[in-house]
Structure 1
Amino acid sequence: MANTDGVFFGPAGWSYADWRGNVYPEPLPPRFNHLAFLAGQFDFVEVNTSFYRIPALTLTQGWVDKTAAYPDFRFWIKLHQSFTHERKLEKSMIHGFHDCLQPLAACGKLAGILAQFPYSFHFNPGALAYLEDLAGHFAAYPLAVEFRHQGWLEDEVLAFFRSNGLIWTNIDQPLISQSLGLTAQVTARETAYLRLHGRNYQDWFSGQGRDARYNYSYSAAELGRLGTVVARLKEQAKKVFVSGNNHYKGSAVKNLLQLKEILLKRAQGGREN
């Protein structure tokens, strides 16, 4: 998929049963290649499975092979939850994670690593020190860091990101209590990141599960405003990655394609419907 003037689009994950009939064909053809199907429409994908378990080399090599027809297609690999939710830096886990990246890095398909911290991870000196240690262990690759608590939006933190070459992950999420609001921060001139989680206020903290939490489809007006945020990011960075995590029943795929169309029309001076 051709990018839109340095703006790259991709969904968060690709293995969802509820995408059948919404994103993927139903029934699926024999030996259907889910990754190749997405690579024909998008620029990258976020890998979710690495959050739950470190992928085997055979698995990451398989991703390379399945997208071989799309040499520009990239992967953002989510850090294992032991690093972000348990805040442990065990040597075996660090080495294992580095090893699984090699097939992707060797062929230029690794866009970077995404560290997704939970809402419960609050800004304080100890947390910042942990982040510095974590970044040091993965300094060989672009590292995007996502916070969900607004306490991290401090000049000290942004300065730390800039001095360490970390990528601030801008997010759109339901604004509940001390949730971090939508920003347009760029801390690494090369790369900006925007993740769209949806705005499902009712189920965000309900404990109903992943599908309920990310069950949201953006309206045309909301996408138009998000397009303005993307433009602000592009003014500051060479590349902007826009990820859709509102994955339930393929809303992320639909909304990303709609957002791309909005940006194309603006670039061409056309009217948005």
Structure 2
Amino acid sequence: MILVGTASWADKNLIDSGLFYPAHIKTPSDRLGYYASQFPLVEVDSSYYALPSERNAALWVERTPPGFLFDVKSFRLFTQHQTPPKVLPVDIRAALGPVEKKNIYYGDLPEELRGELWSRFRSALKPLKDAGKLGVVLFQFPPWFVYRQSNLEHIAACARVMEGFRIAVEFRHRSWFDDKHREDVLEFERSRGLTHVVVDEPQGFASSIPSVWETTSPEIAVVRMHGRNRETWSQKGLESSADRFNYLYSADELQELAGSIEKLAAKARETHVIFNNNFGNFAQHNAGELKQLLARP
């Protein structure tokens, strides 16, 4: 089973483009309902910026049909990203006390507070999990998260905390899949039941990961399409993330990718394909095209 969707249904760039939602679709609930009529899968990216809530998750369950799935991105603190203290829950900020730094990191929080954040994150996902609508929880690590033992241990710790959930791991530093480490990394993921995320993205940068078309879990495979815009991949000062992913896949590129996806899908019970080229309606346009390609006999 191959499910195709996009990263977010409420991206401002998508809504402002006016190219996906009909004119009468104006509310958040109507947008999700319309999106779910077009695709069977979506990725929640808002959970990276702030902890999701049980209430919102329950609403997502209500507003989508049976069988619809949500892949949810991990909260940024858990993946060693810089995190402004203001995005933490009010009581967690109070317990943390005065913070002089602009950003904090996972190691800056006492173990008790980290545990509380993990607990709330798991609870927020419960309505989706109970309804059978939770796909994977995506742990996308930053470009400075390089291959080393301490980082392997952090991933293993995340997996232990999230036991009972399907975890997908995406790296953004080439050291993870260089010739020296590739097989070790894949075996590390297999031994812990972690899903390796196959990426399609520009190559030639320290943050570039090659497309490693391998499965590490017989249950699920994940492919994320970031586009191939080399000019904006590492450019600083862009107005929004959409500018970085300003790329529309051609019909020939999608045809080639469809073949690779079908071969990968033969090794897993379920395969998720997420388009993250979220400039205007590019992701939705390409996702629709790929769906048609995969549906052909």
User: Could you tell me the TM-score, scaled by structure 2's length?
Assistant: 0.83
**TM-fit CA distance, 1:246:** 0.5
Which of these residues, 65, 68, 75, is aligned with residue 80 of structure 1? Answer: 75
Which of these residues, 222, 230, 243, is aligned with residue 212 of structure 1? Answer: 243
The reply on whether 1:125 has 2:149 as its aligned counterpart is yes
Q: Retained in 1: the 8 A contact 2:29–2:63?
A: no
Q: Which whole-Å deviations, capped at 9, do the CAs of 1:172-222 have from their partners, x for residues lacking one? A: 111132311112110001111100011111111112130111111001111
The reply on whether 1:139 has 2:163 as its aligned counterpart is yes
Which of these residues, 11, 15, 27, is aligned with residue 16 of structure 1? Answer: 11
Trace 1:6-45 onto structure 2 (pairs within 5 A).
6-20=1-15, 21-26=18-23, 28-29=25-26, 33-45=30-42
Q: Distance in 2 between matches of 1:30 and 1:15?
A: 10
**TM-fit CA distance, 1:64:** 1.0
Which of these residues, 182, 197, 200, is aligned with residue 172 of structure 1? Answer: 200
Q: Distance in 1 between matches of 2:157 and 2:28?
A: 43
Which of these residues, 38, 48, 51, is aligned with residue 51 of structure 1? Answer: 48
Q: Retained in 1: the 8 A contact 2:25–2:31?
A: no
Q: Which whole-Å deviations, capped at 9, do the CAs of 1:207-245 have from their partners, x for residues lacking one? A: 213011111100111111111110121121111100010
Q: Retained in 1: the 8 A contact 2:146–2:173?
A: yes
Q: CA RMSD in A?
A: 1.5
Q: Name the SS for the 1:40 alignment partner.
A: helix
- The answer for the alignment partner of 2:274 in structure 1 is 243
How many positions carry a matched residue from both structures? 259
Q: Distance in 1 between matches of 2:39 and 2:144?
A: 32
**TM-fit CA distance, 1:22:** 0.9
Q: Name the SS for the 1:249 alignment partner.
A: coil
Cα distance, 1:205–1:32 mapped onto 2, change above 3 Å: same
The reply on whether 1:231 has 2:226 as its aligned counterpart is no
The residue type equivalent to 2:14 in the other structure is W
Q: Distance in 2 between matches of 1:26 and 1:247?
A: 20
Q: Retained in 1: the 8 A contact 2:199–2:212?
A: yes
Q: Which whole-Å deviations, capped at 9, do the CAs of 1:125-170 have from their partners, x for residues lacking one? A: 1111111111111121000000122221211111111111000000
Q: Distance in 2 between matches of 1:122 and 1:173?
A: 18
Structure 1 unaligned residues grouped into runs of 5+: 1-5, 269-273
Q: Retained in 1: the 8 A contact 2:136–2:168?
A: yes
The residue type equivalent to 1:80 in the other structure is F
The residue type equivalent to 1:110 in the other structure is L
- The answer for the alignment partner of 2:224 in structure 1 is 195
Cα distance, 1:184–1:205 mapped onto 2, change above 3 Å: same
- The answer for the alignment partner of 1:160 in structure 2 is 188
The residue type equivalent to 1:63 in the other structure is W
Which of these residues, 99, 102, 105, is aligned with residue 123 of structure 2? Answer: 99
Cα distance, 1:46–1:29 mapped onto 2, change above 3 Å: closer
Cα distance, 1:38–1:256 mapped onto 2, change above 3 Å: same
Cα distance, 1:227–1:66 mapped onto 2, change above 3 Å: same
Q: Distance in 1 between matches of 2:277 and 2:153?
A: 31
Q: Name the SS for the 2:197 alignment partner.
A: strand
Structure 2 unaligned residues grouped into runs of 5+: 82-104
The residue type equivalent to 1:24 in the other structure is Y
Q: Distance in 2 between matches of 1:210 and 1:176?
A: 20
Q: Retained in 1: the 8 A contact 2:171–2:209?
A: yes
- The answer for the alignment partner of 2:89 in structure 1 is none
Q: Which whole-Å deviations, capped at 9, do the CAs of 1:53-104 have from their partners, x for residues lacking one? A: 112221111111111xx11001111100001133627112101101101111
Q: Which whole-Å deviations, capped at 9, do the CAs of 1:113-136 have from their partners, x for residues lacking one? A: 011112221111111111111111
Q: Indicate the percent of aligned positions where both proteins have the same amino acid.
A: 32
